[in-house]
Amino acid sequence: MHVWLPRLCTWEICMTAEIAILNRMGVALAADSAVTVADEGSGESVKTYNTANKLFSLSKFHPVGVMVYGSADLMGVPWETIIKFYRGQLADRVYDSLDEYATDFLRFVEHHASRFFPEDQQARYVDRIIRSQMARVADDAGSAIRDAYESGDQPSDEDVRSIIVGSLEALIARRRQLPVVDDCDESFAKAVVSRYDARIRELVSTTLGQQHLTEQAFSLFGELVGESIVRADYEPGQAGVVIAGFGRNDLFPSLRCYLFSGYVLDRLIVRRDENRAVDISFDNQATVMPFAQDDMACVFMEGIDRDYHRFIRSTLGESFSRLPSLIAGALSTYLADQRDEVAAVLDKMIADALSTVDERSVEYMDSYHVRPIVTTVGMLSKDELAVMAETLVNLTAFKRRMTMVPETVGGPVDVAVISRGDGFVWLKRKHYFDGNLNHQFFRNYFRREED
């Protein structure tokens, strides 16, 4: 008898499109079902399935929902499991504000972390950070080494060691420009590096080669790993958790987003995404908030693809940047002693013109695309909010299907609306089973816990 055991080297990524649309009536949440299984070593996609659940009610009894994007699990524990554990212990308890629900959820995850994330899983989390940073160092140093060969040089081992040290110093400097994650600091980073120093040295030596590494390089790499854990940035395996709805005293809905990285040394590595915090009010009556793959939602809202917009701006800048020297050169016959002054004046004129183009394009986008749509969203009924949310997710899935890229958005779209009066209401929801054959599931779900 042969028993096949999987290698522990994959993670599930919710390569997804999700939408939250809020107005004074409530919140519409929509999420596709695609999940990509990626190789932990290379990060390459292995398989894509259209079966993932990413949208849940956070409470059985109160108007709060939760969506997940990015990684489908936190250090190997599916988010669905974590959320349903929390929902069970929350029972019918109610909080006055959405922020209190979010805080309680974070507190729950951290309180149960020793159960969810044993020591071996914490070590795998640190391994993942080490490998992701090694890949960055290898790319950065490898590019510098290739440039040296292409220029005719033959870098010695000492040259390679110097290049690696320079790459590490540059990566650390860039990382330190980012804010520190909540409840983490430099002393915590040093504690993590001290605890996992042997593992850092082992992986770095195996991957980059002992002969290319100095003690300074090992020290710098440990520093880079510590900074990568405590400073906010995207890392493989990171998950976004969106909590939306109403607290007991909330007149209008709110939304909060948190980015979870992992858990190590009794510390949950999570930060609140302040750019994605929404509070509907009399002044802010509607918001359309896409998550994960947001390109088609942005095209719909802004009237132009953001990559195309950046390309136009970049091309204009490159084209106009050559004009001052060309014009100054053409005038040099007449203004030989003023060529540099002419070029400087033209440089400023062109920079001002490009700045004006940027400002006018943003004004046009806001006046003729964003503002009219947001104004309309502010007046939509609950069912229309749901239709809009589902349509934007389907639009992204359709774009992936019609282009030569992996279909990382697709499958059934789950849609829910949260309102103060009706609570969390499913409009579309997939099940992996036939409801007619599983009446006990629904009886158990709706049964209140006995005292």
Rounded Cα–Cα distance for residues 260 and 276 (Å): 14
Burial of 437 (0-12, 13-18, 19+ CB in 10 A): exposed
Residue 450's pLDDT is what? 46
CB 415 within 8 A of CB 426: yes
Please give the pLDDT value at position 25: 97
Query: With pLDDT > 90 as the criterion, what percentage of the chain qualifies?
Result: 52
Confirm if 79 and 42 have CB atoms less than 8 A apart: no
Name the residue with higher pLDDT: 156 or 100: 100
Which residues have C-beta within 8 Å of that of residue 202, sequence separation ≥ 6? none
* pLDDT number for residue 4: 44
Q: Determine which helix (DSSP H) or strand (DSSP E) holds 203, and give its type and residue range.
A: helix 197-208
- DSSP, res 210: G
Confidence band, pLDDT 50/70/90 cuts, at residue 8: very low
User: Where are the extended beta strands (E) located within 24-173?
Assistant: 26-31, 35-39, 45-49, 55-57, 64-71, 73-74, 77-78
Structure token digits, residue 363: 């004004």
Tell me the pLDDT tens digit for each residue of 309-333: 999 888 888 887 777 666 766 666 6
**Which pLDDT tens digit goes with each residue over 260-307?**
999 999 899 999 999 999 999 999 999 999 999 999 999 999 999 999
Strands (E), 282-350: 286-292
Six token digits for residue 165 = 């040290």
- Distant-in-sequence, close-in-space partners of 160: CB < 8 Å, separation ≥ 6: 141, 145, 212
* Cα-based angle 349, 352, 356 (whole degrees, multiple of 5): 135
CA pair distance 285, 278, nearest whole angstrom: 10
4, 10, 16, 19 alpha-carbon torsion, rounded to 10°: 110
* Alpha-carbon torsion angle 275, 279, 280, 285, nearest 10: -30
| Sign of the Cα pseudo-torsion (426, 394, 36, 233, in order) | negative
Domains and CATH numbers, the chain: 10-116+235-293+405-446 (3.60.20), 119-230 (no CATH), 306-375 (no CATH)
Tens digit of pLDDT for each residue in 328-345? Answer: 666 666 566 666 776 777
pLDDT category, 5, cuts 50, 70, 90?
very low
Region of residue 278 (left: phi > 0; alpha: psi -120 to 50; beta: else)? beta
Q: The sheet that has 17-23: what strands, in order across it? A: 286-292, 17-23, 26-31, 414-419, 423-428
Torsions phi, psi of 24, nearest 5?
Answer: -70, -20
The count of C-alpha atoms lying within 13 angstroms of the C-alpha of 164, restricted to the half-sphere facing its C-beta, is 28
In contact, 436 and 39? CB cutoff 8 Å = no
Dihedral angle of Cα 96, 98, 101, 107, to the nearest 10 degrees? -120
Over residues 62-89, mean pLDDT: 94
Give the residue carrying structure tokens 């994960």.
Answer: 292
pLDDT in tens, 106-119: 999 999 998 999 99
Residue 118 structure tokens: 């044993």
Q: Which amino acid is at 334?
A: Y
More confident residue, 247 or 138: 247
61 confidence band (pLDDT: 50, 70, 90): very high
Q: In this structure, what is the dihedral angle of CA atoms 429, 407, 272, 137, given to the nearest 10 degrees?
A: 150
Residue with the bigger pLDDT between 375 and 38: it is 375
Q: What is the pTM of this model?
A: 0.87
pLDDT attached to residue 82: 97
Percent helix / strand / coil, the chain, rounded to 5: 50, 20, 30
Structure tokens at 259: 């980015």
As a whole number, the mean pLDDT across the chain is 86
- Give the single-character DSSP code of 87: H
pLDDT in tens, 201-226: 998 888 777 777 788 988 999 999 99
